[in-house]
Amino acid sequence: MPSFDNTNGPSVPGIRGSDSSPNRNPGQNHNPDAIRGSEFYDWEPQQGVFSLGDDWQALELGQHANTNATLRHASKSKPESYSSEVHGSPPGLSNRGTFEIASTTNILSLQKTEAARQQEDLAKGHHGSKPSKTEISTTGDANERVIHINDPKLTNDKYEFTGNEIRTSKYTVVTFLPKNLFVQFHRVAYIYFLVIAALNQLPWLAVFGRTVSLFPLLFVLCVTAIKDGYEDWRRHRSDKKENNRLVEVLQGGQFQYKKWKDISVGEVLKVYATETIPCDMVLLGTSDPSGIAYVQTINLDGESNLKTRYARQETASRKPEREPPSGIIRCEIPNRNIYGFVANMEVEVGGRSIPLVPSNILLRGCQLKNTDWAVGVAVYAGQETKAMLNSSGTPSKRSRLEAYMNRETLWLSFFLFIMCAVVAIGMGQWLERHRDQLTTSPYFRKKYFTNGTDNGEKCNYFGVLMEILISFLSSVIVFQIMIPISLYISMELVRLGQSYFMIGDTRMYDSNSNSRFQCRSLNINEDLGQIKYVFSDKTGTLTENKMEFCNASIYGVNYCNGKVTMDSVGQESTGRHEEKESIAEVLDRQVWRPKMEVKVDAELVRLLGKSFSTQERKVAHEYFLTMAACNTIVPTIIEGERLIDYQGESPDEQALVSAAAAYGYALIERTSGHIVIDILGERQRLDVLGLHEFDSVRKRMSVVVRCPDNTVKVLVKGADSSMLNIMSKTSNNNQVTYMEATENHLHEYASQGLRTLVVGAKNLSDEELEEWQHSYQEASTALIDRTALLREAASLIECNLNLLGATGIEDKLQDGVPEAIESLREAGVKVWVLTGDKQETAISIGLSCKLLTHNMQQIIINGTSKDVCKKLLEEAKATYGISRVETRKSFSKRQKSIDIAQAEGIQETEGIQAFPESRSHVIRQITDINDISKGHGIVGASDRHPPLALIIDGTSLVYILESDLEQELFDLAISCRVVLCCRVAPLQKAGVVDLIKSRTNDMTLAIGDGANDVSMIQMADVGVGISGQEGRQAVMASDFAMGQFKFLKRLLLVHGHWNYQRVGYLVLYNFYRNAVFVLMLFWYILYTAFSTTSALTDWSSVFYSVIYTSVPTIVVGILDKDLSHKTLLRYPKLYGSGHRQESYNLQLFWLTMADTLWQSLVLFYVPYLSYENSTIDIWSMGSLWTIAVVVLVNVHLSMDIQRWALITHAAVWGSIIVTYACLVILDSLPGLPNYWTIYQIAKSSSYWLNIILITFLALLPRFLLKVLKQRFWPSDIQIAREAEILRKTPGHLSVKLTEIKGLPGH
């Protein structure tokens, strides 16, 4: 076979290429079946032509103004798969010209021309006219940048390009203070205390010392600022380490080391194997003579497989040190599209423009693999690189409960205003009533009556109105702890303690990756207990991203794990040896082995060891030959071990090639024009005549090879939907039975969740070969409509194939994924999967992980335009009776009403059985009532329909998320039990999360492992990163990080539940604790002429929140557990208490305030009435009230503690002892007015009786209410807790709550 000059790559047999090649006749007819429904963009490398199907409307997404490329319409195209083939690249290379277009980040402005005519053609099923050539403008407009290769000074002559220094931190030394204060003062309480501190600076309002009044606020602000500063310092340290890395830069004809931050656009860089690419650079040459480089892109798209990039042949052969590169690159301005690159390069001034495609650029963050070195020119640097543009700023997240606290803080502020107003008005009335007595009154005087110099002077009396105002402001200062600023410090400490125990949980330690759980954010621990939606990546998150070859159907025989079913030809199954045999043992010789472990079938191994005398053996030979040859895998020989490591973009291909090697068909060499396969110990070279890569229109891949015996074969593999109908049709009964058996095996594999492919092949005659070569060569060099022409060429040989068999590949799920998803579903959590994989792959994995079930009704939205998407959405809603949800408020009300109705319905039907033991409590046997979302939705879906699963592709999301169809998608999505989004770009993932987050009050969690998940993780209320094989980008952007998806079950159901219950109670208790203290002071002021005086010493007021009562709340907030982890994991429905906000809601707040009001009245009036006619002094009453309120709030706390530990006892009862000790010390200081008070009053029995009576009367209503609620209206938490207690009680019957997973919401 002669070699032809190919300008797009090295000289390759069977490829002809020339820029002077005539264009295909625009009027030439095409096979409509070959191009109908095209899902590809057509990039013409030689002229920079990018044609787009006429289904597309103007699309201006992301940085849409960042390009000057004009796109015109060609054949009818549907950019569903977002992938395209650059067929100008040589065949046989590893996906050399493949690139993808990310929908939501597409920066190309798609201009619709002749819209009316094209819409008419579309309606008739016709295709648009041929596209005209479109090249990047060379006029240097604002939408392009011009880079002078190896001349950074000329390139940056206008200083328009940024340097290569990056910054991911939020603050600088200058901006830290204002920005951090701005963030902190989002808390309403902080503004309140700032106002209080300002008022206390006024001389006539200085209730406390001016400086001392600032301490509480400054302390809180400083603690938070130190924490935020430390986190940002870590980011600065990471940035510094990144910016100071070294790379070789061409300077003065030699490569010299230079720091990354000093790299400029236009400089020529040299990167060595395993090094990271420092900036976006156009590849000029590599250590491979053909200019091929292999990179790993885990930091960009989350994929760990190798990608192929190549240098243009015009530059690949030059040595930079000998021939310093020069020329001009004109490219689009920086944009987020990591899958696209539009540029032209002129190697010589005034020379021919060479088009550059995405396969010609290396992006920052990629790692060079299997290539000694690569040379390139920097085109985007620093913050303008695609990786940095896709890395949005680190968001400041606040917990939902903290947001609700602001609401309650406003209510408490309102109460504070009312109390201060009452005191002020009372003061005004008192002054009016005693107007004539103000001069001689012993309590309030206008003038001084002394013997000193102040005799007769005014005694700071400003008139009634001013006195009212001063009284109001003084009351604000006295009652200031009504808003508990100490709560925020307590919450920070509690969250820190909770994080410590989460990190130390050995059940969330991943031994495989040697990674433990990480808490990267301390602000949202409690949000883990309220998650309603989980948005998960698939590859590397649900799966291990490791494919395993499981099943082989060859000649109608199913080989799987040592079992064989010969249902193909009606023969009975024969006995088989149980032991496993390797191909080396059968052949009695050494053979190449794949690095990937593959389990082989002994019977199949023995079949391959036989001679070619049987048809079955011949079919098996071609079957494995196809698996070894029909791919783009790059083999790497591991010397000395006869091992081969296979690298490629597709894990499926890796699994197939490794399986072929395990059975004796080892691919050991791949070049641009041939491959070498070791077949059962004998090397055979196969010349690659042409390669038709996989695309989502044909859904198959084929390669044409010339064998050593000079026969030419076409080897094909693909999806069963596209392969079975191109097989040879024969009336041979045996062949028909053979095909039926293969189809049965395919159904069997699919039911097991395996990824299936069909394998076929045939020999080409000389006539067929000649016809195909002519068509293939013409299509490969065409400038217009290349993709459609290549499909036509493929259709010439991809027909009348001989069926060889089928494959079944398992994308291995991580351990515990199906169980975790099932538990989350039982807990009322909806799991959505957002993946960049193909639709078929995503559905298959959905079945494997039990996300999808076979009884679900699948709604598939694959729209090619906005109108089509709208029609599909409306039809789905009409079919399943789904109503519209207008607003977030109406959705929340509907959701709440459904929960209440569900709970009431269960209450009516549940049976009650008294325990045979001598316990007064009744244990209810709960019937299993499915959550309403378990059926087909939570809004408006009809009960007669099966559960719904929505499957939508990225193309449809392009039209939906940027239009008024978002609401339609939202209505449909929330009515489905499962949502599966396929072929979605990183920002589309964030858009889907925002779809739910912006329209509901439900909490969202996003989990992923790759850089393509960063936007989603940051958009969600809670972001979780998987620290697996896909780099560290997701972990660095996350709030929490862990080793495997299965840990999410324990994180939410156990730690999330505990954290939410603890923090919810902590907030309510702090509101109660401070309010009861303030109300006690308020009642006292009403009896002291509204004078804002206090019976308590200043020290007691300060110590109350800091020392007397703070420690028990923190300890309980960290350690208390309402249920054990075993119970929470056994009954996932218990997690629903967080969805119903049982631990913190507005109703509980009002009940707490009502209880607080009662307790404050008891606290004040019991001592008041007891000592009404006595001569007790004010400080003695103050000592009584101090110790009484501390005892009261601690006993109140002890009533609610679920799990007592030694440290809990020490904290609760120790705080009372500490309070007494402090009172004794303070009353022992002679200089204080309360000197010796405690020693006198403690001798009185009435003192101790008052404390006991206050505690009993104040807590009696609360105790009775708790008893009645647990007796007649127990919650699911209370039922489960009693079951735990009874199981631990000897002599009592064990409670069997086998149906607790259906617990209702109360």
* Catalytic residue annotation: 537
Cβ distance 699 to 737 under 8 Å? no
Amino acid at 946: P
HSE value, Cβ hemisphere, 13 Å, CA-based, for 1137: 31
DSSP for 138-200, written as a single string: SS--TTEEEEETT-HHHHTTT--S--S-----S--TTTHHHHHHHHHTTSHHHHHHHHHHHHT
Cβ distance 1157 to 1080 under 8 Å? no
Alpha-carbon gap, residue 1135 to 1208, rounded angstroms: 25
Alpha-carbon gap, residue 1186 to 418, rounded angstroms: 24
Q: Note the residue count of the chain.
A: 1306
Alpha-carbon gap, residue 906 to 896, rounded angstroms: 15
CA distances from 902 to 50, 891, 943, 1042 (A): 56, 16, 14, 35
Is 921 in a helix, a strand, or coil? coil
Alpha-carbon gap, residue 778 to 756, rounded angstroms: 33
CA distances from 1007 to 210, 834, 1036 (A): 49, 10, 13
Q: From 1142, 1133, 1135, select the one nearest 926 (Cα to Cα).
A: 1133
DSSP for 621-678, written as a single string: HHHHHHHHHSS--EEEEETTTTEEEEE-S-HHHHHHHHHHHHTTEEEEEE-SSEEEEE
What burial letters (b/e) apply to 803-823, b meaning 16+ CB within 10 Å? bbbbbbbbbbbbebbbebbbb
- What residues contact 988, with CB distance under 8 A and at least 6 apart? 102, 103, 104, 834, 954, 957, 958, 961, 981
Cβ distance 474 to 205 under 8 Å? yes
Alpha helices in 320-438 (DSSP H): 386-389, 400-433
Q: From 742, 810, 756, 753, select the one nearest 550 (Cα to Cα).
A: 810
- Phi, psi at 514, each rounded to 5°: 55, 45
HSE value, Cβ hemisphere, 13 Å, CA-based, for 301: 24
Cβ distance 663 to 652 under 8 Å? no
Alpha-carbon gap, residue 93 to 1155, rounded angstroms: 76
CB atoms within 10 A of CB 1072: 21
Q: From 1193, 1131, 1122, 1135, select the one nearest 1159 (Cα to Cα).
A: 1193
- What residues contact 978, with CB distance under 8 A and at least 6 apart? 830, 831, 832, 833, 846, 851, 852, 856, 947, 948, 949, 950
- Which residue(s) pair with 682 in the sheet? 679
- Which residue(s) pair with 99 in the sheet? 84
Alpha-carbon gap, residue 534 to 528, rounded angstroms: 11
DSSP for 1147-1193, written as a single string: HHHHHHHHHHHHHHHHHHHHHHHHTTTS---HHHHHHHHHHHHHHHH
Q: From 1024, 1250, 1014, select the one nearest 391 (Cα to Cα).
A: 1014
Burial class (CB in 10 A: 0-12, 13-18, 19+), 590: exposed
- Which residue(s) pair with 191 in the sheet? none
Longest dimension (CA), the chain: 132
